């Protein structure tokens, strides 16, 4: 089983602070995705990183894929209360000809206090 370990599991910070969430695995993934889930809703894709060492920015969010494609990080600058939610990383396995098999991490519950 290819497991993805996310840390920290819970994070409570004040508005304006920076934070980093980590996603680590002993396995190589063809790509890695980050999702955000709000209460009562399904996860929504934020970004997909494909190339080892790739860095993608989405406003105040910076995503990085490790050189060996085994780990990833999500950095949020100047967090805002609207960033509150459950952040999930998901590794995509290669080889399938149709569809994608996502292996999810355990999630990081982020709370940004005003």
Partner 1 sequence: DTAVSQTPKYLVTQMGNDKSIKCEQNLGHDTMYWYKQDSKKFLKIMFSYNNKELIINETVPNRFSPKSPDKAHLNLHINSLELGDSAVYFCASSRGRRTDTQYFGPGTRLTVL
The residues binding partner 1 (CB under 8 A) are 30-31, 37, 40-45, 48, 50, 86, 88, 92, 94, 96, 98-102, 104, 106-107, 109
* Nearest distance, CB of residue 54 and partner 1, angstroms: 13
Q: Which is nearer to partner 1, 99 or 114 (CB)?
A: 99
Q: Which is nearer to partner 1, 15 or 38 (CB)?
A: 38
Whose CA is closest to 23, among 39, 11, 8, 37?
8
3-state secondary structure of 77: coil
Name the burial class of residue 23, with classes exposed (0-12), middle (13-18) and buried (19+) by CB atoms within 10 angstroms of its CB: buried
Whose CA is closest to 110, among 29, 53, 46?
46
* Nearest distance, CB of residue 25 and partner 1, angstroms: 15
* Nearest distance, CB of residue 9 and partner 1, angstroms: 9
């Amino acid at each position: 089983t290819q497991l993805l370990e996310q840390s920290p599991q819970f994070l409570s910070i004040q508005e304006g602070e920076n934070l980093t969430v980590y996603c680590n695995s002993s396995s190589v993934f063809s790509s890695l995705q980050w999702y955000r889930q709000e209460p009562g809703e399904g996860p929504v894709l934020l970004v997909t990183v494909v190339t080892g060492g790739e860095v993608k920015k989405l406003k105040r969010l910076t995503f990085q894929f490790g050189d060996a494609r085994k780990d990833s990080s999500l950095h949020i600058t100047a967090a805002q209360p609207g960033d509150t939610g459950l952040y999930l990383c998901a590794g995509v396995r290669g080889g399938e000809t149709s569809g994608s098999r996502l292996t999810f991490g355990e999630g990081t519950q982020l709370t940004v206090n005003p």
